[in-house]
Structure 1
Amino acid sequence: MLKGKRNIVGATLWVILLCLGPVCHAETQPRAETILASVNGVAVTARDLEWETAHFGADLRLRNQMISKEQLNTLNAQLIENLIERELLFQHARKSKIAVPPQWVDAALSDLKTRLGGAAALQNYLAAVGKTQNQLKDRLRTGLAVRRLLRRQAVRAIRVSEAEMQVFYRQHPEFFERGEQIRVRHILVSVKDWDDPNQPANALNKIQGLKMRIEKEHDFAVLAIDHSDCPSRIRGGDLGYVTREQLVESFAEAAFALPQGAVSDIVSTRFGYHLIQMVERRPPVPIGYKDVREKIERTLRRNKENAAIKGYVARLKSQAEIQRFMSAQ
């Protein structure tokens, strides 16, 4: 049974935080505010960390990723270090007189609103991080300034040569291979409600009867047309060529274990009960260089940019006056 594709967005913690702007200086800090660090005389406070933690959690949810409160608490030291780095970058962006046009900020806010799902969702986001819309715009503005600084100082001159891409392609053949594919037919007897004991029992009885008929050499495709609950029944249950990653795990394990022409035992998935017939296998095949050239270029460029940014930040930190007073509990 085919499964849906996941939209998984991966990013390093410091890059996620960097994109959102520096310590918020517009706030008036209480006199008793706990100072966690100082960057060229500018304080990084416990309130900054509290806001940063809220933003980080909200941004993960925006990317459909989840993290527990306990896991967030263990990230405090890294979050503080990110606050230090972003404050330092913001200071250098101001020194470099990097301007951010208002329309860029409006566009960034509009994009965030769209990704969140509209105006109401944006208000929920602001409530979750404890900020006003103007404070969020300040954060976006300074984040854009830092991005411009990094592009100007660290990544503008980065190039990826044809020779580098070809070497990477030759040295990593395992990255550029279409996995084994199989062509299978299946019969599905669906279970709509697993909590209703009658539905699984009735479905199991039906699939057992179909298996007995197949063992008596009834045609699998004909039985699929007559009895399967899957839309593939119109093709005799034929799913075409599929990879392991396209299939629900239990279905994939059973299907890929079959020799050609064989029929599986009864397989249970969240959709119901299945019988699977192996039709044909296609072995793994290499993907041509031309088909993956752009992907290789993006990968190598991203790696170079990350290394250049980290090196640039490290140089700024070595020249700055940074004090770390305590860790947040």
Structure 2
Amino acid sequence: MLKFATRTWFGRIGLLLLLCLPAVLAAAEPRLLDRVVAVVDKEALMESELQQRMQQVRAQITDRGLRVPPETVLRQQVLDRLILDTIQLQLAQRAGMQLDEQTLNQTLNRIARQNDMTLRQFSQAIEADGMSFTAFREQIRQEMLISQVRQRRVGDRIQVSQQEIENYLASPEALEQEGREFRVGHILIPVTDNPTPAEITTAQQRAQGLKKRLDAGEDFQELAVSSSAGDEAFSGGDLGWRTAAALPSLFADQVVRLSAGGMAGPIRSPSGFHLIKLLEVRGGAQHLVNQTRARHLLLTPNALRDEQATQQQIRELRNRIHRGESLATLARELSDDRGSKQSGGSLGWVSPGQMVPTFEQAMNNLEPGEVSQPVQSQFGWHLIEVEERRQSDLTDALRRQQVRQLLSERRFEEEVQNWLREIRDSTWVEIRS
């Protein structure tokens, strides 16, 4: 079985991206007389396109061992999703958004590697399973464009302040759940914009009816497939692994209080009523890194000093340091690194991955108090001095960075459903029976 990513967008917060569906490879070309099933802002959606998408979804659901919903239910759900995808691709086109061939090829190569294949072998496997590689490539391109347009149109609305990060870190949720991750199932029963009281009551009763069926022992994932309007419906409602901060805030407080297997809801939001189930919980770990406090002197070849002269001068400076002069003093006088020159070449505490590889490797091979031989990088020639080393707990700094990203992700996932409803309501759509 070929493996594919199943998120539909990127995660700054990790991003929200559905690269492809496992069921794509089970889909065969439809053989029917075509007709228009919907018109989206003058663009026709064809019966063949709808049938092909339905075949993909059926195979995906079956592959997960879930029960396929009735044909009329599945058709309506897939058509709604197809309409939304078309609207988003139209927005991308109007914004002039394009996906360059290099990025698309890199994604395809990554998918092939995930399946332990070369791209050629992967292409042959797709063709052997009944779908042209050209069609598969186009589907990946469209999914990536949809992710980009969501990121631009929804992500730009979201700002996270430092005070919000501080407030979150001080919250009982953060203190209780530090380092823990949750895998959550989600069912959304939608309501329209500005719903009438009767529409709200109908949706609520439907959600309560589903909750009763779940309490009676029906399978959550199968009900998500047949009943949820969430983006993850065809994956059994599985939101994947999230920290508490990355869960939609609407039900994050509920999730952290549940035991594995527990359920909550219906929970009301502007987009509808939500049912959630905590599928699994796992813990985190402390983030310790080895840091180095170092300084350096940089000489860069220029119009007055060619490569050979630069090498000669850096060797002479090392000899002067060997005879007792200070690297810090020489760096203040001669270094071409403007950022560190005034502080005697001080780089402060350096964490793994901060410096270019050749510099970091040379630095790591030094003992405290030792000065390196001349080291070449893309910036020029360096002399490096290690002052001391330590092991640091960067859990707090990393956590702050993660909180900023994950609060953005949380808002993104809440906002994307509102945005989808907005673009659906503002686009002329004609459904043809």
Query: What TM-score, normalized by structure 1, do the two folds share?
Result: 0.49
Higher helix proportion (structure 1 or 2):
1
Higher RCO (CA-CA < 8 Å; seq separation 6+):
1
Higher strand proportion (structure 1 or 2):
2
